[in-house]
Amino acid sequence: MPSIFAYQSSEVDWCESNFQHSELVAEFYNTFSNVTFFIFGPLMMFLMHPYAQKRSRYVYIICILFMVIGLFSMYFHMTLSFLGQLLDEIAILWLLASSYSIWMPRCYFPTFLGENRPHFICFVIITTVISTFLSFLRPVINAYALNSIAVHILYIVFQEYKKTSNKELRHIMEVSVILWAFALTSWISDRLLCSFWQQINFFYLHSIWHVLISITFPYGMVTMALVDARYEMPGHTLKVRYWPRDTWPVGLPYVEVSDNKNC
């Protein structure tokens, strides 16, 4: 009787030529471009530490899951195995679920839950567990389903963008959406226009997706933290900072938390 853990090739294969640079690594650039996950994940854990202490230590889980995604994505592209594909996609699913649980504004909760966050978290966990099992049924569509969740996130960002006049929040939202749009364009182009990229010997779009989406992660975290603070942290002010210096033209965003005190 064959074991479910026996090697099985994934139905998903990206545009990069397989085993071109090494007999041990199927997709060289798609594998090692995941190193950015291991850079930005720990950095955001460190930079968001004061915020996590004030708001929720579950923020650390978000960063850890982000690094787990990088690890599983590296394994997937190194082996092109079915197991690697599922581990990669399930990790992304649970990262999204964790983010929803922590940062989803109560006003967007399903009506039948009212504005009860513990009930909402239970609802998200149950939905995610069911989705995890469903992901085994048609694995080839999992990535498209995960990207479609971005439509709902974009809807929330758009609604909050209309509500706020905060220039910092608007700027972070704009940069987040632009980075995500470029990342998604790279992902779709690699999937749908592979023959064209092969003709011009440019196989790097999926690896570019890895880099861009990992840069989008800090901006997405800060966006959701700022949105969440408007509802859940009325006694605190969040200020956007950039690592390593605010004055540098390019930096990694994080939030600085200060108490609102009446003199």
* 16 known ligand binder: yes
* 13 known ligand binder: yes
Compute the distance between CA of residue 70 and CA of residue 73 in angstroms, rounded to an integer. 5
- 125: how many CB neighbours lie within 10 A of its CB? 14
* 210 known ligand binder: yes
The residues near 206 (Cβ < 8 Å, ≥ 6 apart) are 14, 15, 16, 27, 30, 186, 187, 190
Dig out the tokens for 107 from the structure: 């006003």
* 119 known ligand binder: no
Q: What angle do CA 100, 192, 33 make, to 5 degrees?
A: 60
Compute the distance between CA of residue 175 and CA of residue 219 in angstroms, rounded to an integer. 7
* 14 known ligand binder: yes
* 246 known ligand binder: no
The residues near 84 (Cβ < 8 Å, ≥ 6 apart) are 10, 72, 75, 76, 77, 78
Residue set of the binding site: 13-14, 16, 18, 27, 77, 206, 210
Bind-site residues for Ca(2+): 13-14, 16, 18, 27
Instruction: Return binding residues for Zn(2+).
Output: 77, 206, 210
